[in-house]
Each structure stands twice: as structure tokens, then as C-alpha cells.
Amino acid sequence: MSFYVVDVALPVPLLRTFDYLPVEGDARENYQPGQRVRADFGRQLLTGIVLGTRDSSEVPTNKLKPLLARLDDAPLLAPRDLSLARWMSDYYHHSLGDVLEHWIPTMLRRGAGLNEADESGWQRIASPNTEPALKGSKQLALWQQFQRQEYIAHRFLTAQGFSLAQCRKLAELGLIEEQTRLPVPALPESVRPALQLNDEQASAVKKVSDVLGQFKACLLEGVTGSGKTEVYLQLIDKVIQQGKQALLLVPEIGLTPQTVRRFQERFNVPVALLHSGLNDRERLQGWRQAREGQARILIGTRSAVFTPLPDLGLIILDEEHDGSFKQQDGLRYSARDFALVRAHQAQVPVLLGSATPSLESLHNALTGKYLHLKLTRRAGNARPPGMKLHSILHQPLVHGFAEPVLTAMQQHLNRGKQVLVFLNRRGFAPLLACKQCGWNAECRRCDARMTLHQYPPHLHCHHCDYQQPVPKVCPECHSPDIEPIGQGTERIEDHLSALFPQTPVKRVDRDTVRTKQAFDDLFEEIHTGDPCILVGTQMLAKGHHFPDVTLVVILDSDAGLFSADFRGMEHSAQLIKQVAGRAGRAESPGDVWIQTLYADHPQLNLLIDDGYHALALSILRERLDQQLPPYSHMAMLRSECEDRAMAQRFLEQARYILQHWLKQYGQKDAPVTLLGPVPAIMERRNGRYRFQLQVFCSERKALHQTLDAALKQLQELKGFNKVRWHIDVDPLDTL
DNA sequence: AGCACGCCGACT
DNA sequence: GTCGGCGTGCTC
Ligand SMILES: [Zn+2]
Ligand SMILES: [Zn+2]
């Protein structure tokens, strides 16, 4: 038997893989890329992924340890999965072992067998024509079930009132036997017919259908209510009919029961779901249903983009501009960008849908890199909501509302309609201050103010979660004259209850709807259509449509207008449009009133008068001038440390190292440039000082080469053990 | 990232 | 004397 080693990726943050001797006596052909193995690593036990075998190792033989066990015979991951993981490891400068953790459900990472997703049930083994002499009528009824279906999961039988004893009796008679299987999602009782498409929708379906079977990125830019979902449904139908699987990715908050039901009721195929509300076993089940091909449609949130699909035919990413597609810690990947890479590998189209596309995607569509599909008309020829800026500069406000806004609210309520008040700030008030000495309640761990909450009363830092009781008197001057300044959703709810005593006021934010279930329940309630006022944060803006809301009031659009972040205006506009789109339907179009101190703000006016697309073009011109994304590529190094000087010094070192490599890899027409280190906008958070260093280049390759080389040296730096740092490729924000 | 080793100050 | 603080180094 000849010598060989197994190359293993382990879940440790080291940018290399590890050689192991095989399990004692295990033949080389037993090792295939994608299997799980147990490895003795340092002083810990880890589950790793086999990448391959080699004749020899660079590592001295006496340092090589044998693997403790091979956990799979058949590889868990296919070569295509491994090659995608390698791409991700390179692109995000993250360890391959850590990256591979994202491909595998938690249970399997802990070494569980695939069959632990199975559930018990009974398989008919006798001919369905058998007419056994059965005593009880219940037993006969049970046998009749099996005459119709040859396999029934145990939980369905208990749900119908059959007992384990009755099943065992049939088993004793040789009619059925116990068998465990992977549960398959139920099919709908009846399939709903497709809707009639308008010509724009039909054209979009046609254009994407034409490129099925090849890679093509498509941007579906469709105004709210223009019927994007119907386009998705009809494309998925085509994909299924070709015997392929469809992957639909949605933002976390968009995976509502209504949406899911719409997909499930349309197709006579199993639909698998993967979202954060599932337990480990349910996740494993969904993953296997997708990977083993039982599920033909997979609907999931960000992390579902990794799920192996043997017959992938189409990827759809809805609300593609949504920030939740970018992971904000650990492996900072963008599910949108990865979906493109995956679609390219599988040679299938990827469809990005949004009413307010990200400037990256819009730019790619405008330059012809993506197919640009537009839906400009609302279904049923509904008029778009009328948006109106209402200046509150030098205007008296009644509990945060301008008088004409309150009048409009009353009018809509009188007509038996619902009103939505949007305020992206939870709590009672964003500030508690002393009238006598000017003291502000600030977080002791952050450069931020504490938010005052009243239900129940406490001060809460939304940046680090630090909480403390509300002081009775000013801690500085002991005056009892301390008061809340500004409005949060709690306070607006109070004010509205006083202003409209006859109308129920419902608050929707993270504090009132803690669970997905609570949100779904509240949503059902709102859907009865009874007049009410909804007050809420961006929770209200995403995912759900409220057909009985005919007036939307936006209270604090100003926060984003002067953001320090270069994407601030883009995100503000997306949010305003999204909130506005919650209102109205065909027969009763909605009104949208935006209270603002800056009614002259040119970009805000552009958004209101000419729409998102026009504003987007204007912002793109600014980005071009400033050579910001999408006209350059960016990576960000962030450091944080309780010791301010240490955090800063780390990035100064990083700058020094980067400066060396960018001379080598930067080109004359594509230089690599550095910005920083500078303190983060909120310099101290959770007791740690934060700094950042931005790296730009118009060429991805040079940027990555520079980062790669610098990263190796950064990891070797000594004396920075207390500094926490990371690289964020294509960061979402620079705050 | 873990985890252990090792070298210094302040306790029984 | 030793308990434990955290700086340093290593993991096939
Ligand atoms: Zn005071
Ligand atoms: Zn804080």
C-alpha cells in the first residue's frame, strides 16, 4: 500500500488547509472531495471537509496525524460546491474551512448522519387488492388509507386518529412495515391558475425564458404593484416543466406566509423552505429535500444561496437592493453577488428584482452587462400613490404632526380607511435631557445617546444593548427637570391615541412584535380592513402590503438625507419608496405625505417629482465624479480595541504594508488607493474604539492581489492581540 | 479562533 | 511558596 495524505479544510480562521494521514487502513479511493472527516487538530476535535488526496506532503511525516474517522462514504458536497467555496474563500479573503461551514447545516457540521432528518412512517408491502380479515373498523379504515397510498408518515396517521398499536397490528399481518424516510413537503390540494400578463410582464417572461439554459444576469425593475411576483411564478413554471429546480431568495422579513402560500399553491411540486425560524432538524430536512431533488422549488433567505441543487435552472433574488443579503459579520458575503457567480457556474439565468434597484445592479443594467427588464405599470391600471412633501420648517407641530397632515389622516379614517405612520426610530424618545444644565443621557460604552423607552420605562442603547433605569433627577445638577426630546414610535403611538381616541392605534416595531408569529398574527388582524392607524419602523416597510391603507405619513425622512455614508441617499430613497408602496390598491390609490424640514432638498424633490430611477441616475453621476462604487471597487479594513491608540496603530501598520504592495500590483490606469485610517463615525461602540481604512481600485484583480499579499503580513503582526480586525470586501456602509 | 505554555505580581 | 493574569506561539 503506497503512502498518501488527505487534504482537509478545517473550520479555523487560518488561510490554509491541512494534510492528514488517512484513517488506519482506509484505501485511497475511499477518499473523495466533499466528504466529512473527524480530525485531531492541535488539542481539539474538529469536523473537516476532504478536498482531495496527494502522494506526498510538504509537512514532515512525523508531524502528520491520522484522521480519526471518515464520516461519509458518498461525498456530502459535489465538486461544483467546492469550487464555489474556493471562489468565496478567495474573494472574501476568508478561510476555506470557515466558508464551507456555510454549505452544511448545523447538524451535519456536528457530525450527524443524513438520516437524522428522516421521520418514521409505514410502507405498504402487501398488494393493495388484499382484503385482510380485520377486526376493528378503525384497522380497516387504516388499511384503506394504505390501499390509496403506499407510504404514509406516522405523524399523518396520528393526526387522523390512528394509533401506533393499530399500525403494528397491520404490520403483524404482513400488510405494512415501518420505514423511515425524509419527509417531502406536501403538495397543494388544487393548483391555482396563472394570471393574465400585461405586455411588459409577458415580455419579461419571454426574455428570461429565452436564456434558460445559459448564464445571463437580468434586472427586473418593476414599480410597486407592477406584478413582479407573477413574472417569477411564470418563469418558475417554465423551469419546473424543463425538469429543473428554481431557487428564490427573499429578504428575511419578506418570507411571509402569504408569499410562501402563493408559491406553494401555484405548482404541483414540493416547495422547500429555509429561513431563520426553523430548528436544526427542519433546516437539515429542507437542505436534503433541495439537495436530493425532491423539492423542485427552494425559497429561502440569505444563507439558502449555498444550498446544493442538482438540477438548478434559475435563481431569482427578490428585493435585490435589500441590505439583508449582505452578511454583516464573520464571512461578509453578499448573497446577491454570490448568486451571480453561482448562476454563471451552473450556466443558468439569474433574475434580480426590485422597485428600487441598487445602484450597482442598475449600473450593470444600464451598461448592458445585465438584461434590463422594466415593469412600469401597476396591475389593474392603478394609479401610483401621490407623493407630497410637506415642509415643517417654522411650522407649529401638534405632537410631531403638522396640522394639515392630521386633517388628512382624519379624512382617510372617516372614509373607513387605514393610515400608516412611518417613523424609523423605536422607543419613546431618542434623547433624555436636563432642561437646567443641558445634560444628555449617553451610553457609557458608546459615543451615542441612550434611547428612552416607556413600555416598560428604561434607557436603552441601541448600539450595544446596555440598559439602565430612568433617573428621577439629573445626575449632574440634581434638577428634577429632565425631559424626553424628539419622537419615537412609542411616543407617537401615545399621541395618536390621544388625538384619535375613537381609532385603534397599532404599533409595529421590534418591541411589539418580537417573534415572526406575533408579526403574522398582527398582520392578519390588520387585514380585516377595519379603520386603524399603524405606527411602525421599517418592519412595516418591507414585505407586507396593506391594501386598506390609503394614507402613508413619513415622519423622519430627514435622517438619511445628510448621512455620512456614501450610500445614505440611495438607501433613504429606497426606504421612502418602499414605505410609499405599502399603500393603496387598484380601486383606491394611496396618498403619501412626507414631513420634512428640508422641502428644498434637490434629491428629495427629484425622488418625489421624477421617481426613483431619475434620482438613481443623478446619484450615479455623483458616484462617477467621486470614483465611488459602482465606478470603483472597495474593500474596508476595520479595527477595534478598548485601547484607542492600539486600534489606530494597527491600521497605520496596515496602511504601511498596503502601500508597499499597491506599488507592485496597482496599474497606472488602475491605481490602488487608500483612505484612512480614520475613526469610525461612531468612534466608540460597546466599549471599543473603532477605526477604518478604505482600499479602492477600479480593477478587482489588483485590489485582491494587494489585499492578499498584505493580509498575509497582517496576520503575522505581533503586539496586536487585543485588536479585533477584519476585511470587508464590497462593504455595505462606511459608518 | 481555541488552547496551552510560561513568566511575573499578590495572595493564603 | 502557588494562584492566575494575559502575552506569545502553534495547530497537518
Ligand atoms: Zn442637569
Ligand atoms: Zn451603547
The answer to whether position A367 is within a domain reads yes
For A125, the domain range is: 121-181
Res A253: pLDDT: 82
Q: Give me the pLDDT at residue A360, please.
A: 98
Q: Using the CB atom, is residue A14 less than 7 Å from strand C?
A: yes
Which DSSP state fits A28? G
For A568, the enclosing helix (H) or strand (E) is helix A568-580
| Cα–ligand 1 centroid distance for A151 (angstroms) | 74
Is there a binding annotation on residue A532?
no
CA distances for A734 relative to A111, A482, A560, A702, A728, angstroms: 39, 35, 14, 21, 10
Termini Cα distance of chain A: 58
Distance, CA of A721 to C1' of B3, in Å? 15
Say how many Å lie between the CA of residue A473 and the centre of ligand 1: 8
Weakly modelled stretches of chain A, pLDDT under 70: 1, 380-383, 543, 585-589
Q: Does residue A443 have a known ligand-binding role? A: yes
Identify whether A480 is part of a domain: no
Closest-lying nucleotide for A720 based on CA to C1': C7
The reply to whether A465 falls in a domain is: no
The enclosing domain of A598 has a CATH number of: 3.40.50.300
The greatest distance separating any two alpha carbons of chain A, rounded to the nearest whole angstrom, comes to: 92
- Digit-coded pLDDT (tens) for A276-320: 889 999 999 999 999 999 999 999 999 999 999 999 999 999 999
Evaluate whether residue A654 is within a structural domain. Answer: yes
Over its C-alpha atoms, chain A yields an Rg (Å, rounded) of 29
Q: Is A586 within a domain? A: yes
Cell numbers of A610, please?
A: 421624477
What is the distance in angstroms measured between the alpha-carbon CA of A723 and the sugar C1' of C2? 31
pLDDT of residue A524: 83
- Do A509 and A607 reside in the same domain of the chain? yes
Residue A546: the pLDDT is: 87
Distance A457 CA to ligand 1 centre (A): 20
Ligand nearest to the CA of A467: 2
Instruction: Identify whether A185 is preceded by a cis peptide bond (ω within 30 of 0).
Output: no
Task: Give chain A's domain count.
Answer: 5
Same domain, A581 and A684: no
Beta strands A467-468 and A457-460, pairing class:
antiparallel
Residue A459 resides in a domain: no
- The whole-model pTM stands at 0.94
- Smallest CA-to-CA distance from A6 within A33, A25, A46, A45 is with A33
**What is the pLDDT, as a whole number, of residue A716?**
87
Nearest nucleotide relative to A58: CA against C1'? C12
**A167 annotated among ligand-binding-site residues:** no
Asked if strand C comes closer than 7 Å to A148 Cβ, the answer is no
CB contact set of A504 (below 8 Å; sequence gap of 6+): A530, A531, A532, A533
Domain boundary among A337, A355, A375: A375
The verdict on A705 and A586 lying in the same domain is no
A686 and A545, same structural domain?
no
Distance A691 CA to C8 C1' (A): 25
The answer to the question of whether A477 is labelled as a binding residue is yes
CA-to-C1' distance for A18 and B2, Å?
Answer: 17
Q: Do A221 and A363 share a structural domain?
A: yes
Residue A12 CB lies within 7 Å of the nucleic strand C: yes
Residues, CB-to-ion distance under 5 Å, ligand 1: A 434, 436-437, 439, 474, 476-477, 479
Burial A484-498 (b: 16+ CB within 10 A, else e): bebbbbbbbbbbbee
pLDDT of residue A588: 66
At A547, the amino acid letter reads: P
Tell how far the Cα of A466 is from the centroid of ligand 2, in angstroms. 5
Are A207 and A356 in the same domain?
A: yes
In terms of domains, do A404 and A537 share one? yes
Return the closest nucleotide (C1') to the Cα of A43: B3
**Which residues surround the ion ligand 2 when the cut-off is CB under 5 Å?**
A 443, 445-446, 461, 463-464, 466
Residues A158 and A85 in one domain: no
CA/C1' separation A163–C8 (Å): 63
Judge if A228 and A357 occupy the same domain.
yes
CA distance A80 to A324: 26
Domain identity same for A219 and A348: yes
Q: Is residue A661 part of a domain?
A: yes
Question: For position A585, what pLDDT does the model report?
Answer: 64
User: What would the grid cell of residue A321 be?
Assistant: 437592493
Residues 62-121 of A with CB under 7 A from strand C: 63-65
Closest residue by Cα to residue A420 from A514, A288, A533: A533
Cα(A447) to centroid(ligand 1), Å: 20
Which of strand B's nucleotides are less than 7 A from any protein C-beta?
1-4
Is A446 annotated for ligand binding?
yes
Where residue A645 sits, what CATH number does that domain have? 3.30.70.600
Phi/psi-derived region of residue A568, left when phi > 0, alpha when psi is between -120 and 50, beta in every other case: alpha
Question: Which ligand has the minimum distance to the alpha carbon of residue A482?
Answer: 1
Give nearest nucleotide to A721 (CA–C1'): C7
Inside any domain, residue A478: no
pLDDT in tens, A538-586: 888 876 788 889 999 999 877 778 888 999 999 999 999 999 888 776 5
Indicate if A648 and A724 belong to the same structural domain: yes
Closest amino acid to nucleotide C10 (CA–C1'): A42
Q: Which residues pair with A220 in a beta bridge?
A: A353, A373
What ipTM does this complex have? 0.90
What SS3 state is found at A271?
A: strand
Separation in Å: B12 C1' and A715 CA: 42
Coil, helix or strand for A428? coil
The residue lying closest to nucleotide C9, measuring its CA against C1', is: A718
Assess whether A420 and A525 both reside in one domain.
Answer: yes
**Using H for helix, E for strand and C for coil, what is the string for A113-161?**
CHHHHCEEEEEECCCCCCCCCCCCHHHHHHHHHHHHCCEEEHHHHHHCC
